[in-house]
């Protein structure tokens, strides 16, 4: 029994599968929530890092470069343990889910910073020159000229990371987040039937990633290629 | 000639070992229409780009309206200009680019109102009125709600001109405004520039390969070669009776090409 739902182990695999489906769907909901939370953090933090890295002042850009390099070159699991166990020693105690979402967000922000940066650099130089000739401020140029043109270009690459984050969520089970794979393993441990729940996890993952990819393609198709419009 | 609004004194600009501008001395009087011609790599566009603060200088002094552009007054003479000074100085200049450089994600109207609103602090209503006046001037009143990629190259460049004018600059810089256009679209852009030259007391600095046009609109033509002015004079002097062999060779090549 898990989440108050009991499973049926005596009427064959199909009945067993049907009985654990609601439990796995609970786990799937957590997986989706962690994906969305991690992706949202990574999108915002990634943009912040991309901006900091492009600041001409080395005192600003260097720390950003070092930090993102550290995030990219250390395993997600190390970052996760660090946030969960080490911070607790300093009385910073985060709930397991928040820790997991933060670890995902932080790790992927380092990747996404590079994507943003490529998108920002791909905006034609003439756009910056026109903005400068019109005397627009640096921040206005970034928010109203560069970014709206960069965003449509980076959506496909950012979308790939959405799928990657989704596939990394099972790592969070080591800090007791009850996402889908963790749930399936508990079911397996208790029923000695691993084949059915793990196969179902594989299938459900496939559906999730296909839906996520379709969503990204949909958003990509909807965004005007010339840039986000300004009223 | 009245007092100069633009003054280059011994200006040097180099890229690595290559000197684009070589101790250039150059003046433009208030209201004067000056055309710069010359072979590519002679530094013509660099003069405009330096004025628009898109390129730094490596030596000498550039002044706009009697105030140094790339320097400001420090306790012990001139020091390199800071961004605040550049922003103040830049407001006097407007630029039209060879590749138009319109903002593709904004409508024509928004292209024209963006800077007046965010830089000059105009209200939406005032910026809009100013934009509509300018669109009328360039003959594009009915295109305000279109995006740049829905316009022809000639129309885009006319928007580019209107966008620069919306900031009410004292000096307009035209950097090969028709070089990227199909031949049949050149005329409509030149007509707008000619109208501006006739009807406004704007100071205009134009880099172009359109010799006939240069002859019609300019008060003075400067022939640039190897980072300096090789020869200058009224259009009649320079085009009909060039003194320098180099000028003659260039004009021959351009006019017969």
Question: What pLDDT is stored for residue A68 in this prediction?
Answer: 93
Calculate mean pLDDT across residues B48-65.
Answer: 94
Collect contacts of A134-139 with beta carbons under 8 A, ≥24 apart.
A134/B114, A134/B115, A134/B119, A134/B163, A134/B164, A134/B167, A135/B87, A135/B90, A135/B91, A135/B115, A135/B119, A135/B167, A136/B114, A136/B115, A136/B118, A136/B119, A137/B87, A137/B118, A137/B119
Could you read off the pLDDT of A90-123 as tens digits, one per residue? 888 889 999 999 999 999 999 999 999 999 999 9
Q: How confident is the model at residue A1 (pLDDT cuts 50, 70, 90)?
A: confident
What average pLDDT does this structure show over A118-138?
Answer: 94
Q: What is the pTM of this model?
A: 0.86
Q: Would you call A4 an interface residue with chain B, using a CB distance cutoff of 8 Å?
A: no
Hey, what's the torsion of the CAs at A177, A178, A183, A187, to 10 degrees?
A: 90
pLDDT for B1: 52
Cα dihedral B90→B115→A154→A61 (10° resolution): 40
Q: Pick the residue with more confidence: A7 or A34? A: A34
Instruction: Enumerate the domain spans of chain A.
Output: 12-222
Q: Which of A4-8, A145-149, B44-48 has the lowest mean pLDDT?
A: A4-8
> What is chain B's mean pLDDT, rounded?
92
Closest residue to A127, CB basis, from B53, B103, B164: B103
pLDDT at A105: 96
Q: Is the predicted pLDDT of residue A176 greater than 90, yes or no? A: no
A136 and B114: CB-CB below 8 Å?
yes
Q: pLDDT category, A231, cuts 50, 70, 90?
A: low
Res. B126 pLDDT band, cuts 50 70 90: very high
Confidence of residue B150 (pLDDT cuts 50, 70, 90): very high
- What would the mean pLDDT of B204-210 be, rounded to a whole number? 93
Pick the CATH number of A12-222 from 3.40.50.1370, 3.20.20.70, 1.10.3720.10, 1.20.59.10: 1.10.3720.10
State residue A80's pLDDT score. Answer: 92
CA nearest to B98 within chain A: A126
Question: So what's the pLDDT on residue B2?
Answer: 66
Residues of chain A in contact with residue B148, where contact means CB-CB under 8 angstroms, are 226
DSSP code per residue over B77-132: EEEEPPHHHHHHHHTTEEEE-TT----TTS-HHHHHHHHHHHTT---HHHHHHHHH
Surface of A (67-86) touching B: CB under 8 A: none
What pLDDT score was predicted for residue A24?
A: 94
Range of weakest confidence among A7-21, A135-149, B92-106, B120-134: A7-21
Closest residue to A148, CB basis, from B87, B105, B164: B105
pLDDT value for B78: 87
Chain A residues with CB under 8 Å of B94 CB are 133
Beta strand B4-15 with B59-64 is antiparallel
Q: CA triplet B213, B219, B221: central angle to 5 degrees?
A: 70
Per-residue pLDDT, averaged over B11-34, amounts to: 93
- Mean pLDDT score across all residues of chain A: 92
CB-nearest partner of A229 from B93, B105, B114? B105
Q: Do B102 and A130 touch (CB under 8 A)?
A: yes
- B18 in helix, strand or coil? strand
If you count residue pairs, one on A and one on B, with CB atoms under 8 Å apart, how many are there? Answer: 70
Q: Is it the case that residue A230 has pLDDT exceeding 80?
A: no
A158: Cβ–Cβ under 8 A, 6 or more apart, which residues? A43, A112, A115, A216
**Distance of residue A137 Cα from the nearest chain B Cα, in angstroms:** 8
Q: Who wins on pLDDT, B257 or A4?
A: A4
Does residue B137 surpass a pLDDT of 70?
yes
Under the banding of pLDDT at 50, 70 and 90, the label for residue B50 is: very high
Which residue in chain A has the smallest CA separation from B87? A135
Reply yes or no on whether the pLDDT at B190 is more than 60: yes
Say yes or no: A217 contacts chain B, CB-CB below 8 A. no
Average pLDDT over residues B96-109: 96
For residue B121, count CB atoms less than 10 angstroms from its CB and return exposed for 0-12, middle for 13-18, buried for 19 or more.
exposed
* Model pLDDT, residue B117: 96
């Amino acid at each position: 029994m898990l989440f108050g739902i009991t499973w049926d182990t005596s009427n064959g695999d199909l009945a067993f599968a049907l009985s654990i489906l609601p439990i796995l769907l609970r786990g799937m909901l957590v997986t989706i929530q962690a994906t969305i939370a991690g992706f949202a953090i990574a999108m915002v933090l990634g943009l912040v890092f991309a901006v900091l890295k492009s600041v001409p002042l080395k005192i600003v850009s260097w720390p950003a470069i070092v930090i993102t390099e550290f995030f990219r070159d250390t395993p997600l699991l190390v970052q996760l343990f660090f946030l969960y166990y080490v911070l607790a020693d300093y009385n910073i105690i985060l709930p397991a889910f928040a820790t997991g979402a933060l670890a995902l967000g932080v790790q992927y922000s380092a990747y996404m910073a590079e994507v943003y940066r490529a998108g920002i650099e791909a905006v034609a130089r003439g756009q910056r020159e026109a903005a400068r000739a019109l005397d627009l401020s640096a921040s206005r140029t970034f928010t109203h000229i560069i970014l709206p043109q960069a965003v449509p270009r980076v959506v496909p690459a950012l979308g790939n990371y959405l799928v990657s984050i989704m596939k990394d969520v099972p790592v969070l089970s080591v800090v007791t987040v009850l996402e889908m794979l963790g749930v399936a393993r508990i079911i397996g441990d208790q029923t000695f039937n691993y084949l059915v729940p793990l196969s179902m996890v594989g299938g459900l993952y496939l559906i999730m990633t296909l839906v996520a990819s379709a969503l990204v393609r949909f958003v990509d198709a909807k965004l005007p290629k010339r840039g986000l419009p300004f009223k | 000639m009245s007092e100069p609004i633009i003054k280059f004194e011994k200006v040097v600009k180099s890229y690595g070992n290559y000197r684009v501008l070589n101790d250039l001395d150059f003046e433009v009087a208030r209201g004067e229409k000056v055309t710069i011609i010359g072979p590519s790599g002679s530094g013509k566009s660099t003069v405009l780009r330096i004025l628009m603060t898109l390129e730094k200088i490596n030596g000498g002094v550039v002044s706009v309206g009697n105030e140094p552009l790339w320097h400001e007054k420090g306790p012990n003479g001139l020091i390199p200009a800071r961004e605040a000074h550049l922003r103040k100085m830049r407001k006097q200049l407007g630029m039209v680019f060879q590749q138009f450089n319109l903002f593709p994600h904004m409508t024509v109207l928004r292209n024209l109102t963006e800077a007046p609103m965010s830089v000059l602090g105009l209200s939406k209503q005032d910026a809009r009125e100013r934009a509509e006046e300018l669109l009328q001037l360039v003959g594009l009143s009915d295109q305000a709600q279109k995006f740049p990629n829905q316009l022809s190259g000639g129309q885009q460049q006319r928007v580019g001109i209107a966008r620069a004018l919306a900031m009410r600059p004292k000096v307009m810089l035209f950097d090969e405004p028709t070089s990227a256009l199909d031949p049949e679209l050149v005329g409509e852009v030149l007509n707008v520039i000619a109208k501006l030259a006739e009807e406004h007391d704007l100071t205009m600095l134009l880099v172009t390969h359109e010799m006939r046009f240069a002859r019609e609109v300019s008060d003075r033509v400067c022939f640039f070669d190897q980072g300096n002015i090789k020869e200058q004079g009224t259009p009649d002097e320079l085009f009909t009776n060039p003194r320098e062999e180099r000028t003659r060779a260039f004009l021959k090549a351009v006019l017969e090409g």
